[in-house]
Amino acid sequence: MAGKWIATKILFPYWRLTRGMTLGAQGVVIDGGGRVLLIRHGYRPGWHFPGGGVDWRETVEAAMRREVFEETGVIVEGSPVLHGFFANFQTAPSDHIAVFIVRDWRQPAVPPPNREITEQRFFDPASPSDDISPGARRRLAELFGKTPVSQVW
């Protein structure tokens, strides 16, 4: 809980002052059976796609590849497909998330749970966990339920 407090009370205002816009990148990792990989963070509730912030002088795709590997041990291979950019104004007035579809990948080892990522699991996109994040639920509906793509996370 202390880590969440530090991130929301100290780090986020700093990021807002030093960056005009925040940009994140997430990967929808799909296995051969059509299931999607979701993660649970130690600092926020619910299940999410793996991903994180784009660093200075880093492409969005490179950030997604780096974050997916760091959080799950998944090595993205081939060319992931950009699903879209989504406004995440609930987090900040200028936050956006790029979402990539990842079908070509391998996972040589699953990292042990830690303070940042407490769990990872594959879910059927038609029936993910009840506590999946609203944004991830919308993306799954777009990708697998033939729902129109929204601009909002």
20-31 residue pLDDT tens: 778 999 999 999
Degrees (nearest 5) of the Cα angle 143, 41, 48? 5
Q: C-alpha distances in angstroms, 104 versus 4, 65, 76, 94, 98?
A: 33, 12, 6, 31, 18
Instruction: Please state the rounded mean pLDDT for residues 124-151.
Output: 94
4-63 residue pLDDT tens: 555 666 666 665 566 577 899 999 999 999 999 999 999 999 999 999 999 999 999 999
pLDDT at 21 (0 to 100): 77
Quick one: which of 54, 77, 78, 56 has its CA closest to 67?
A: 54
For the chain, the domains span 21-144
Residue 116 φ/ψ region, left for φ over 0, alpha for ψ in the -120 to 50 degree band, beta for the rest: alpha
Query: Would you list the DSSP string of 40-61?
Result: EESSS-SEE-SEEEPPTT--HH
Cα 84 to chain centroid, rounded:
13
21-144: what CATH class?
alpha beta
